[in-house]
């Protein structure tokens, strides 16, 4: 089964936050993959929740976090992932969580699902290996292909 580490954007629908159609389409196919996340992504998602979810919808957020924790597998970054994320930060990408997600996918040798084209371009510009990065379209194609 395809193993994939998801970017924070893919957690947002579970928390009741509207996202791009391509994210929704990818999430519909999560049953065909072994989906992993970082706990720090839940924290990052909560910053968005603070800004856009009204207090009367907090039960949806709680249920969403419960679903995430019970459906997906948490990965714990290795010290080397933190070091690589810091290196990427110092090379110019100022979103440490993006950097950490990418570094964990490299260390764990699993695919990283992201919608962030600017981050992918940054990685290519500094000649980082992007062979484990999947866009939503790539992901849907991979899990839909006959085996």
Q: How far apart are the first and last CA of the chain?
A: 10
Helix crossing, 58-71 with 39-52: angle to 10°?
160
Per-residue pLDDT reduced to its tens digit, 114-136: 999 999 999 999 999 999 999 99
What dotted CATH number matches 2-144?
A: 3.40.50.1010
Q: How many other C-beta atoms are found inside a 10 Å radius of the C-beta of residue 58?
A: 12
- CA-based torsion, 131, 134, 138, 142: positive or negative: positive
Of the candidates 17, 27, 47, the one whose C-alpha atom is nearest the C-alpha of residue 113 is 27
Predicted pLDDT at 21: 97
Q: In this structure, what token pair is assigned to residue 95?
A: 């979103």
Over the stretch 70-117, which tens digit does the pLDDT of each residue have?
A: 999 999 999 999 999 999 999 999 999 999 999 999 999 999 999 999
Q: How confident is the model at residue 145 (pLDDT cuts 50, 70, 90)?
A: confident
Q: CB of 123 within 8 A of CB of 133?
A: yes
Give 35-56 pLDDT, tens digit per residue.
999 999 999 999 999 999 999 9
Residue 143: pLDDT band (50, 70, 90) is: very high
Where does the chain show beta strands of DSSP type E? 2-6, 33-38, 73-75, 111-113, 133-134
Beta-bridged to residue 36, according to DSSP, are 5, 73
| For the chain, domain boundaries | 2-144
Task: Please state whether beta strands 111-113 and 133-134 pair in parallel, antiparallel, or not at all (unpaired).
Answer: parallel
- pLDDT, mean over the chain: 96
When pLDDT is cut at 50, 70 and 90, the band that residue 147 belongs to is low
């Amino acid at each position: 089964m395809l193993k994939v580490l998801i970017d924070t954007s893919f957690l947002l629908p579970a928390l009741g936050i509207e996202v791009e159609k391509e994210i929704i389409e990818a999430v519909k196919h999560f049953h065909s993959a072994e989906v992993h996340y970082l706990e720090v992504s839940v924290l990052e998602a909560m910053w968005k929740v603070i800004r856009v979810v009204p207090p009367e919808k907090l039960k949806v957020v709680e249920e969403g976090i419960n679903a995430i924790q019970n459906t997906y597998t948490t990965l714990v970054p290795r010290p080397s992932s933190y070091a690589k994320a810091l290196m990427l930060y110092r090379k110019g990408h100022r979103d440490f969580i993006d950097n950490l997600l990418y570094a964990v996918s490299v260390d764990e040798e699993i695919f990283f699902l992201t919608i962030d084209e600017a981050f992918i371009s940054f990685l290519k510009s500094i000649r980082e290996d992007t062979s484990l990065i999947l866009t939503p379209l790539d992901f849907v194609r991979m899990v839909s292909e006959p085996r």
